[in-house]
Structure 1
Amino acid sequence: MRWGVLIAAVPLAILVAGTATGCKDPRNAEGQCLVGGPTSNHDKVVSCSKPHDGKIVASVSHESDCPQGTDWSYTAKDLKIMCVHNEQG
């Protein structure tokens, strides 16, 4: 591998890593709020200070692992089950 290619790749990797830092990590979704409900497109995470319909109370591997009091759940893009409590905000 040529050194010039490696030297050019390093700043690009730093730029990509810096951009991804601000993204929400779906694996750490607990406590985030979302818009929608069990029968709509509910995979839209929003700030809890904005209008929302529910709050993710847990991210689990199986629906049966959702905590008691979960109103509904859905499968996220990363195939984790999001356990949601209805919460109007």
Structure 2
Amino acid sequence: MRWAVMIAAVPLAVAAVSATAGCTDPRTAVGECIVGGSTSNHDKLVACSKQHDGKIIASVAHGSDCPQGTDWSYTAKDLKVQCVHNEKNY
């Protein structure tokens, strides 16, 4: 009986690991610059050498976790809250 449970558990464990393995994105937006402000579309990342409105200083789970120096934040497509410091570069 124990072998039957173990044989059934192994494929389930493999399926669970496989399902979550590709879900995390190892890239982080911290240090990236963006175009847009607190009331516009924010997901446009640009090179910091180009015109930009802010720099992402932290990527956190909740807006309340943003560090000091955050001027505004937004929730990205991956549901992480991006903490932004205003940094106009024109």
TM-score (norm 2): 0.68
Q: Which runs of 5+ in 2 are unaligned?
A: 1-24
1:48 aligned residue: 48
Task: Confirm or deny: 8 A CA contact 1:33 1:53 kept in the other structure.
Answer: yes
| Structure 2 CA distance for partners of 1:66 and 1:38, relative to 1, 3 Å | same
Q: How many aligned positions are there?
A: 65
C-alpha RMSD over aligned residues: 1.4
Q: Which runs of 5+ in 1 are unaligned?
A: 1-24
In the TM superposition, residue 64 of structure 1 has moved relative to its aligned partner by: 0.6
TM-score (norm 1): 0.69
Structure 1, residues 21-80: CA drift from partner, whole Å, max 9, x if none?
xxxx68410000000000111110000000000000000001111001100000000000
Higher relative strand content: 2
Q: Percent identity?
A: 77
Structure 2 CA distance, aligned partners of 1:86 and 1:26? 25
Question: Which structure: larger Rg?
Answer: 2
